[in-house]
Amino acid sequence: MSRKKEKLPKTEAQIVAQESTIPSIAAKAFRDAYNVALSKGEAVLVVREGLLVKVSSAETVILRSVETYGKIKAGTRLKVKKPRQEELAPQVRA
């Protein structure tokens, strides 16, 4: 005979309650990962106000603008155009 109790199946309300906490858990995980990376001296890429920004503990560098694509169907292949060398000159923000 097993010592483990049999688990009762979860109700729909219990499942919905658990699933409703997923967004806040994910947000906390991303925030923690961001803070850990910065505390270790690493850089993090983020999008702020339509710009791709490289953030580190020492500086914030704007890399390029980020355009919205709108709705994309699953399986769509996108071609990313690399910027020219003169476009790469970073703009530093304190």
pLDDT, tens digit, 9 for 90 and up, residues 40-61: 999 999 999 889 999 998 999 9
In this prediction, residue 24 carries a pLDDT of 94
Average pLDDT in the chain: 85
How high is the pLDDT of residue 68?
A: 75
Low-confidence ranges of the chain (pLDDT < 50): 94
- Whole-angstrom CA distances from 74 to 68, 78, 79 are 16, 11, 15
pLDDT of residue 89: 59
